[in-house]
Structure formats: structure tokens, C-alpha cells
Amino acid sequence: MRKKFNDLYDLVRDRLSCDPESGHVSLFTNARRNCLKLLVYDGSGHWICAKRLDEGRFRWPETGSAVNKIVLSHEELALQPGGIDLSPTSRRA
């Protein structure tokens, strides 16, 4: 994943139709899903954090093929960078 600040900012704004300066956290993975980047605005500028797994791949919750944006809960967001597989989990009512 070679995208930098401006590229990730543009992805959030144009493809996800979100405000990159809203304070929401945006997560991105590469095609092999072994690298994860996080983009967040803290009020004075943007942060990018990155993690590469030594083994395995990041897994997203199952969605339809037409979906280009997944909304995660705080708990799911905390588990995702640890490489935890979210697919077998389910939310309580």
C-alpha cells in the first residue's frame, strides 16, 4: 500500500463520500490484506498509522460485493489492527 496523506484523503472524500476532517477513523488494506493503514483527523492535522502483519491477513466482516464502505463498532475497530478475524463474530441486538 503506497498511498500517502493526499491519496487516502481523496479516497475518503471521493469514493466513500465522507468528510476526512470529521474525526472518524478510516481503515484501508492493500490487495493482499497483510498491510493496514489508518487515517484520522485530530483537529490540527491528519494522522496515518500503518501496520503490517508478519503472518496471516486482515479480515473484514462479510458484506455484499457492491459495498465499498463498512462501518465498524468501537470494539471491532479495536480488534481489527490486532489481526483478529471478525467474520465469525456477530453483534448483539
| Residue 12: count of CB within 10 angstroms of its CB | 21
Inside any domain, residue 92: no
Q: Report yes or no: 10 and 3 within 8 Å, Cβ to Cβ.
A: no
pLDDT the model gives residue 47:
92
The secondary structure element, H or E, covering residue 10 is helix 5-10
pLDDT of residue 69 exceeding 70: yes
Range of the domain at 67: 5-82
Inside any domain, residue 19: yes
The total domain count for the chain is 1
pLDDT the model gives residue 68:
73
- What is the percent of the chain with per-residue pLDDT over 70, rounded to a whole number? 81
Annotate 41-62 with b (16+ C-beta within 10 A) or e (fewer). beeeeeeeeeeeeeeeebebbe
Amino acid occupying residue 33: R
Inside any domain, residue 91: no
- What pTM, to 2 d.p., does this model score? 0.71
pLDDT the model gives residue 66:
66
Inside any domain, residue 28: yes
| Residue 27, phi then psi, degrees to nearest 5 | -110, 140
